[in-house]
Structure 1
Amino acid sequence: MNYYGSWQQYMEQMMKQLQEQQKEIKALYQKLESLEHNHSDQPKTVIEKIEYNFDQLKIESLEGTLHIGLTPQELSEIDDASLWRQQDPIQKSAPKPDNQQVLEELDHYLTEQGGAIIRSLATHHQVDMNQQKEQSIIQDIRNQLPSRIGHYENQNPKPGPEVVVQQIKTEIEHSIAQYLEQSKGEDK
């Protein structure tokens, strides 16, 4: 029996495996060095000490946007200042408060159907409507949504989100019709 051939093949196979493992180890070391290099390049935020003296605080006017729970890096990645309008897949999976869901649904309703509703009612009431007026009406309604949602949430018993959405949609159409009827009288 010739065991030399089988030992030789076995040793060659072992050498190939050893070389492949050495290549993998080398590649892993390179990745590790790359990660360490990238990690060291990232800016670090260090906050030493924050002191608030509320008795000395006097607020004349309050403006701007408050972002709670965001790091400076996350804040710089935000394109739209109104966070509740972002369509982020992560946000969709997380449960939202009822008023947030209602607000998003009504905003979507205004965006998708608001212009058509206004044009239809303007035609019905024989009022001239241009794009600028239409957008102004939609923006005015959009600004009033939080207070209308709050009105329904303060009712006892509190209606469900679907009821609130339907009620506010009805109010929107009724209010637009009233506005256009008044505009018709002013044009004459």
Structure 2
Amino acid sequence: MNNDLYTYSKQMQHYLEAQEKRILQLEQEVKRLTEEISVLKNKPPIHVDRIEYKFDQLKVESLDGTLNIGLNPSDLNNIDEFAVNHQPVSPASFPFPKREQIVKEMTIELMSQLDEMIQATESQVGITLDPTYHDFIKNDVERQLEQRIHMYFDHSLPTERAPHQFEHLKEKVFEKVKSDIQVALMNFITHSQGQTGGNQPNGV
């Protein structure tokens, strides 16, 4: 009987020691977490300055390459589009209703104006391209248009995304992409004169 009491007493003692050790560990953990919370509370709040963005100048690398009105995903890492305190910031996606449909409608409208833009640019610089280059331009522009439109929507400012501002944003994106096309056409047609023998000034 005494032996049973002794065994029980030793077991109880080990149990209490284990509980005491566990309580001490928990107290230390609570103390550590309390200190971390205190440090976080004392940190100054994060302040984000005004967000500004700019797009790199468009250019055509070569006549047999691409009429570049847009940017490949890898190119986005190489230009200063968004910066906060001179640090790059990725733009937030803008998933508005019927986005794909709106982008396609804008693409169709821009493509319907492309022939007129090509002719106007040719007239402005005094160079008439061979008709085969017209097809090249139209195919290349059409291939890049939707990506470019999506990019401008995603780079819009939060204030421009309000419902009452959306129609204005659509017009702004449309005009930006149209301007990009005009710049690319100007570069392409101007540089084509020195790169090929098939394009004659004033159609001669």
TM-score scaled by length of structure 1: 0.43
Higher relative contact order (CA 8 A, sep 6+): 2
TM-score scaled by length of structure 2: 0.40
Structure with a larger share of its residues in helix:
1
